[in-house]
Structure 1
Amino acid sequence: MEIMRATGTDARRRAARPAERIAYATGLALIASGAFHLGVFGVDGGPWDGPVSWRKPVTFGLSFGLTLIALTWVTSYLQVGARLRNVLLVVFTADCVLEVGGITLQAWRGVPSHLNMETAFDTAVSMSLAVGGGVLVVLLTVFAIVAFRNRPDGPTGMPLAVRAGFAVLLVALASGAAMIARGVTLTRTGHQEAAYHSTAALKPLHGVSLHAVLVLPVLAWLMTRTSWSELTKNRVMYAAVSAYVAAVLATGTWAALTYET
């Protein structure tokens, strides 16, 4: 059975190589962009927080780059057709470029990237980022559904890691959607400045839950390099998942206590 699973996974990986190469290369480029803008911040200075800051191209470049690389790798363990996975990866890659590109453009222009309706161009950028965020939600939800409909492949601990990672990722998607909805509502009711600061309470929850889909599968992969028994590996993975859920609950509680209506 394990050999059959490994063979099936290898076949999907071979079929998806072109899309994977594009996704991995793009992910590295986005990470490089984030690192470059950290250097720009070091030279140019300015505030780290706030709606206009070099922080945004830094954190979004690094975060989207890592997420793209992680999703490309993790989805190779899903029981999904190669063609469908290729299409989803290509769209996801393009959407990541759109998000980071729009944010970076506005940072260089010295204006807010999200919730900015000051000019027609700023509105177009802001709305494209919002639409791109919606596309991300749909794509990642599809991957999550696949993960729970069919048991993922992989070594001991990997199926649990992939499923738990996608489950926690759904929390990130929900918190991200809540931030966008809250900000848009405030903007359209004439509270532009409040909109820029309305997302602060949810940012820790969003950030923590976003990367479970990378952290947990990496742990499962690292355990393949040990001589631990399958029982020990499963126990470690369950403990890791529990710890991550506790972190999500902690940041969620903080968000609920500090969220301003």
Structure 2
Amino acid sequence: MSPRWHRPLLWFAAAMGLLTVVALVGLFTDDRQIVGSPAWLKPFKFAVSLGLYALTLAWLLKKAHRLRRTGWWAGTVVTVASLGEMVLIVLQAVRGRPSHFNNSTPFDETVWSLMGNLVMVLWTASLVVAVVIAVQRDGDPVVRSAARSGFALSLAGMAVAFLMTMPTDAQRAAIDAGTSNGFVGAHSVGVADGGPSMPVTGWSTTGGDLRIAHFVGIHALQALPLLALLLAGFVADQRVRLRLVRVAAAGYAGLIALLTWQALRGQPLLDPDRTTLLAAGALTVLVAAAAAAGTTVRRRELQST
């Protein structure tokens, strides 16, 4: 019997596709603002992101032959946790209330607490899926390596979100003074959430923004396997493709670290200082040199035989 796609994840991905359309309509017809952003922007972004994530997991689990039942149950838990997360995000959008970091009323606090617990369940279930993918031994080794690295980096990207839950200096001061507005945690660093931001993404243009590293990290699960598939069409030698994927994974890890470091220093993505630019340049040179070395070594191996 041929492997089947993980149906709960597929159904969830389809639902996110539908929600994406609904959220787009909301963006054009609902003029309400929540913390400086259109009310339906967060449901739109999360629907696209989680939909792609679910679709990728369904594809990877389709290729799993070892621990298939474990993978199916872990994928189902990812589906349920993701669905619960999206229901709460949409609920708060409909109510015109912030879904993240909001403890201003007992109901909002309950919603935010549930979301935090669901994220922990989602991360843990994703880790189980990552283990299932890691123990597979059949199929294209290049794609398999890309999937393993992509999963590890995706989990690291998810973990960046925990930095957002820490109270800012201003929030700590307000809590100590007894004047807190009920919000604990923020996306931005060095500035308040809701200020000037980039279109579509909503990332801050005046301070650091941890959502950037979070987003880039999560989607390593799509980027690295896609790179492996693209390389198959341009590079015939499997060893070279494997080396290039490993170099790309190392570079991707460096990019996540760089974006997190930049955000924690309160710098906007598009306004880096000299130190950040030097670090980015060094990372680029190292990745390019490692990629060139990987192909050169293979040429020498072929010439020596």
TM band (smaller chain): 0.7 to 0.9
C-alpha contact 1:68 1:93 (8 A) present in aligned 2: yes
Larger radius of gyration: 2
Q: Which residue of 2 aligns with 1:250?
A: 258
SS of 2:39's partner is coil
> Which residue, 103, 121, 124 being the options, matches 1:135?
121
C-alpha contact 2:147 2:224 (8 A) present in aligned 1: yes
Name the CA distance, whole Å, in 1 between partners of 2:186 and 2:256.
Answer: 24
Aligned AA (1:192) = G
C-alpha contact 1:52 1:112 (8 A) present in aligned 2: no
CA 1:49 to 1:208, structure 2 compared with 1: closer, same or farther past 3 Å? farther
Aligned AA (2:109) = T
Q: Which residue of 1 aligns with 2:221?
A: 213
Q: Which residue of 2 aligns with 1:241?
A: 249
Question: Displacement, 1:198?
Answer: 4.9
Q: Which residue of 2 aligns with 1:4?
A: none
Aligned AA (2:48) = L
Aligned AA (1:176) = A
C-alpha contact 1:27 1:68 (8 A) present in aligned 2: yes
SS of 1:192's partner is coil
Is 1:63–2:49 an aligned residue pair? Answer: yes
> Which residue, 92, 95, 112 being the options, matches 2:98?
112
Q: How does 1:10-25 map to 2 (within 5 A)?
A: 13-14=3-4, 17=5, 20-25=6-11
Q: Which residue of 1 aligns with 2:69?
A: 83
Is 1:102–2:88 an aligned residue pair? Answer: yes
Name the CA distance, whole Å, in 2 between partners of 1:85 and 1:197.
Answer: 32
Q: Which residue of 2 aligns with 1:177?
A: 162
SS of 1:157's partner is helix
1:114-136 deviation line (CA, Å, top 9, x unaligned): 22223332222211111101101
1:209-261 deviation line (CA, Å, top 9, x unaligned): 001011111222344455722133224323432442232132122123128xx
Q: Which residue of 2 aligns with 1:155?
A: 140
CA RMSD of aligned residues (A): 3.0
1:2-44 deviation line (CA, Å, top 9, x unaligned): xxxxxxxx75x24xx4xx1221121121133123212311222
Name the CA distance, whole Å, in 1 between partners of 2:52 and 2:250.
Answer: 23
Name the CA distance, whole Å, in 1 between partners of 2:232 and 2:35.
Answer: 40
Q: Which runs of 5+ in 1 are unaligned?
A: 1-9
C-alpha contact 2:104 2:181 (8 A) present in aligned 1: no
Q: Which runs of 5+ in 2 are unaligned?
A: 190-207, 268-305
Q: Which residue of 1 aligns with 2:194?
A: none
Q: Which residue of 2 aligns with 1:6?
A: none
Is 1:33–2:41 an aligned residue pair? Answer: no
Higher helix share goes to which structure? 1
Is 1:42–2:37 an aligned residue pair? Answer: no
- Could you tell which deviates more after superposition, 81-90 or 41-50? 41-50
- Could you tell which deviates more after superposition, 194-203 or 133-142? 194-203
C-alpha contact 2:146 2:249 (8 A) present in aligned 1: yes
SS of 2:165's partner is helix
Aligned AA (1:161) = A
Name the CA distance, whole Å, in 2 between partners of 1:80 and 1:177.
Answer: 32
Is 1:164–2:172 an aligned residue pair? Answer: no
Q: Percent identity?
A: 26
CA 1:77 to 1:50, structure 2 compared with 1: closer, same or farther past 3 Å? farther
C-alpha contact 2:74 2:126 (8 A) present in aligned 1: no
C-alpha contact 1:223 1:233 (8 A) present in aligned 2: yes
Q: Which runs of 4+ in 1 moved over 6 A?
A: none
CA 1:151 to 1:87, structure 2 compared with 1: closer, same or farther past 3 Å? closer
1:139-184 deviation line (CA, Å, top 9, x unaligned): 1222334444x2554314112101111121121122112223448x
Name the CA distance, whole Å, in 1 between partners of 2:150 and 2:112.
Answer: 29
The alignment's TM-score, normalised by the length of structure 1, stands at 0.80
Q: Which residue of 2 aligns with 1:5?
A: none
